[in-house]
Amino acid sequence: MAKVRKPAVAGSFYPADKGKLKEMMKSMFDNADYLGIEDIKGVIAPHAGYFYSGNTAAKAYKQLKKNDYNTVVVIGPSHHTLFDGFSVGDFDYFETPLGKLPVDKDFVVAMKDFAKYDITFDIPHMQEHSVEVQLPYLQYILRNDFKIVPIIMGRQVQENIYNLAMNLFEVGKDRNVLIVSSSDLYHGYDYEECVRLDKEFTDLLLTMETDRISRYVEDKEFSQTPVACGAGPILSNMITCKMSGYNTIKLMDLTNSVDATKQNTGGYVVGYSSFVIFR
């Protein structure tokens, strides 16, 4: 019997009803401009509830409307499970209200040859939202049938970032693959700090200089300054794209929960951005 990973945050992060979800998707994508970028290898998108970050994510995903992929790798950070390395789980399908997405088992088997540890354990996936929330966007915008490789990254240290990037490059170099990184930005209570740090970080991402980005993230973590919860997935994506000859990146949107929801500036604030990587 097929092993299905059921949705964990349908009804909270996004509508659990198929009709309502499709209606929300249509609204978000109708509000996003298509820029005619055709050869896209990477996407960076936020993973908050759609009410907060859905419009930001849709602005990047809208650029995929004329792109076809056989496999979509989705990399998200772990919010619930502390572990080293990364996990793809041992599922046959990931389910959302829009249907079931098959896992690319051939890709996963090939990844095992490059991994230094067991990558098929399920626990990091069970309650994790960072990969799940990206899937309905892909189901809505991509025209062809595709398979997914769902990756939850544990410790976001350089060794794991580069190990995953090399793994994805080696396994994916002869395949038609899109890589999606799932990450929000600033988390905290200072709106002005959020605006300043998110602009600083996204400006740095636009350089595609992964060593500089990595040092910046490490320095901020050392000073306990929030930057991005998915910096590791972002860096693995960028490194893989650059090795594959995709060196151009475009910022599609930069906002935060206060601006997106017209809240006051005195409470908790989370930053959101979206990008596409292409050539």
Tell me the DSSP string of 227-267: --TTHHHHHHHHHHHHHTT--EEEEEEEEEHHHHHT--TTS
* pLDDT tens-digit map of 30-61: 999 999 998 999 999 999 999 999 999 999 99
pLDDT of residue 222: 82
Return the percent helix, strand and coil in the chain, to nearest 5. 40, 20, 40
Q: What CA–CA distance (Å, rounded) separates 142 from 82?
A: 33
Per DSSP, the three-state class of 70 is coil
Angle at 276 between CA 223 and CA 154, to 5 degrees: 45
* pLDDT tens-digit map of 161-171: 999 999 999 99
For the chain, what are the domain ranges?
Answer: 37-278
Question: Which position has the token pair 């960076």?
Answer: 44
pTM: 0.97
Q: Compute φ and ψ for 126, nearest 5 degrees.
A: -60, -45
Query: Is 3.40.830.10 the CATH number for 37-278?
Result: yes
